Structure 1
Amino acid sequence: MLKILRRIGAAPRERGSLAGANCPDIFELSNGDFLVIGTEMTAVLDSGLPADAARADYERIVVISRETLIRAKADIPDA
């Protein structure tokens, strides 16, 4: 069974989201993959993907803030 192991980076509250209205987040999963909570932007960005990029019908383009990823950098494993 797939489980969330840990948050990667700072919690939304630590990044200033007090009302829960802006809560991008990254988590490491038990299989080594990552779960990303962000803003679904497939319809807006899909046509702008580079020619060598592809998205399956079941995949979505999700945007997270720069701060979310930068604050997660130290927690992302090298391998």
Structure 2
Amino acid sequence: MPREFPVPSVVRRIGDPPRLRGSQTSETCPDLFELSDGNFAVIGTEATAALDPHLPADAARADYERIVVITRETLIRAKRDIPDV
């Protein structure tokens, strides 16, 4: 069962929009967003089944959590927008 929590709003994109990262359609690309509650949301490729068995021994994932993959370029271009604290 999915975890219930208040739905925050998207405050801003973190990093460059997809079209500046080479997306031809700007419709289905990895993306990062800062939320009104201070957390971050990630749009990426769902890879839980493939990566779950390969997590380090000290890593854990709740049933309602998913492993999502974003491109290296997406995260590197977001670095300048991620707060230090």
**What interval of TM-score do these two structures reach, taking the shorter chain for normalisation?**
over 0.9
Which of 23, 27, 41 in structure 2 is aligned with 1:17?
23
**How far 1:18 moved relative to its partner?**
1.3
* 2:82 aligned with 1:76: yes
Identity rate of aligned residues, in percent?
A: 70
* 1:51 alignment partner, one of 38, 54, 57: 57
Range with bigger deviation, 22-31 or 57-66: 22-31
Equivalent pairs counted in the alignment come to 79
Aligned partner letter, 2:59: A
Q: Following superposition, which runs of at least 4 residues in structure 1 exceed 2 angstroms of deviation? A: 19-22
* TM-score (structure 2 length as normaliser): 0.89
- Three-state SS of the structure 2 residue aligned to 1:58 is coil
Q: What is the alpha-carbon distance in structure 2 between the residues aligned to residue 62 and residue 29 of structure 1?
A: 18
Could you tell me which residue of structure 1 aligns to residue 4 of structure 2?
Answer: none
